[in-house]
Amino acid sequence: METNLRPRRSALYLPASNAKAIAKARALPCDMVILDLEDAVAPEMKAEARAAAVAAVNEGGFGHREVAIRANGLDTEWGEADLAAIAGAKVDAVLVPKVNGPEDITTYERALAGAPAHVQLWTMIETCASVANLPAIAAMAGTTRLSLWIMGTNDLAKEMRAQLTPCRTPFLPFLSMAVAAARANGVAILDGVCNEFRDLEVFEAEARQGLMFGFDGKSLIHPAQIEPCNTVFSPSEADLAWANAVIQAFSLPENTGKGAIKVDGKMAELLHLEQARRLVAVSEAITANG
């Protein structure tokens, strides 16, 4: 079983130019906070936002939450200064936008050469080119800091000229391909944002769709989305009842040495035992995180 079961159910973005939002995020029940320097910040505010983001993470106060800063791309006028500033800041990760292929991971890896070893590289999956290169990008995880992807469905919709509707039909093949490529390479993966932050029914349906696809959690844009997101991405009582029944059944003397048994009228194999143990461990990690 994997050893890093850190809960990553909910990752809240906020514009690093918004001091009030940063202060608020320190007490919100999200698992991750992402201070954005990219799309949420107007060009004339970029330098100020960069300084505010670095000051905020250095000040700390985010508790158990993983904290990242999303940089502008290295193909923009702000990217280089962003990466240099983030590499020297107290962050868990730098999130970079609009990567297209494995060569971009190499470029960002070089830009982060001076950062402490624990600083991870997270990337957005949000360009058409990245969708065509999913396995090659994910494979970079073995030799670089790359450890997590976040889907950028707004940018994908823009590049594809597709419509971002609640059912997300145009994106479904990419979502499952991205999850498979990430899993094959030990990369964690979060779903994209739901822009409908006033309609929590739409949000919850989209979060449940993400859970069904296998995402570890979802990226968020508003505090109101955190609680429903945490609920969707936490093992439910029914999940845990099933997991405990499977674990219990496999521990019975009469099932010793068996690979497939019957639990509650359904087949359970050793692979289900592994899934059951993971569910219980995820639930314990969530409880431990408070």
Ligand X SMILES: CC(C)(COP(=O)(O)OP(=O)(O)OC[C@H]1O[C@@H](n2cnc3c(N)ncnc32)[C@H](O)[C@@H]1OP(=O)(O)O)[C@@H](O)C(=O)NCCC(=O)NCCSC(=O)C[C@H](O)C(=O)O
DSSP three-state, residue 66: strand
Distance in Å, CB of 15 to ligand X, minimum: 5
25 binds, among Mg ion, ligand X, none (CB under 5 to 8 A by kind): ligand X
For residue 227, give the H/E element and its range: helix 226-232
Residue list 147-166, contact with ligand X (CB under 6 A): 152-155
Q: Both tokens of residue 15?
A: 């514009």
Q: Both tokens of residue 6?
A: 């850190």
Q: Please give the Cα distance from 193 to 162 (Å, whole number).
A: 16
In the complex with ligand X, which residue's Cβ is closer, 23 or 285? Answer: 23
Q: Both tokens of residue 150?
A: 């976040």
In the complex with ligand X, which residue's Cβ is closer, 14 or 115? Answer: 14
Q: Binding of ligand X at residue 144 (CB under 6 A)?
A: no
Distance in Å, CB of 34 to ligand X, minimum: 7
Tokens 């019975």 correspond to 252
Nearest to 277 by CA among 237, 252, 242: 242
Q: Rounded to the nearest 5°, which phi and psi values hold at 198?
A: -90, -15
Residue list 198-257, contact with ligand X (CB under 6 A): 221-223
Q: Please give the Cα distance from 186 to 4 (Å, whole number).
A: 10
Distance in Å, CB of 39 to ligand X, minimum: 4
36 binds, among Mg ion, ligand X, none (CB under 5 to 8 A by kind): ligand X
Among the listed residues 29, 39, 102, 136, the single contact to ligand X using CB under 6 A: 39
Nearest to 96 by CA among 84, 108, 106: 108
Which range in 34-42, 133-141, 206-214, 254-262 contacts ligand X by CB under 6 A? Answer: 34-42
Distance in Å, CB of 281 to ligand X, minimum: 30
**What residues make contact with ligand X under the rule CB under 6 A?**
12-15, 20-21, 24-25, 36, 39-40, 124, 126, 152-155, 192-193, 197, 221-223
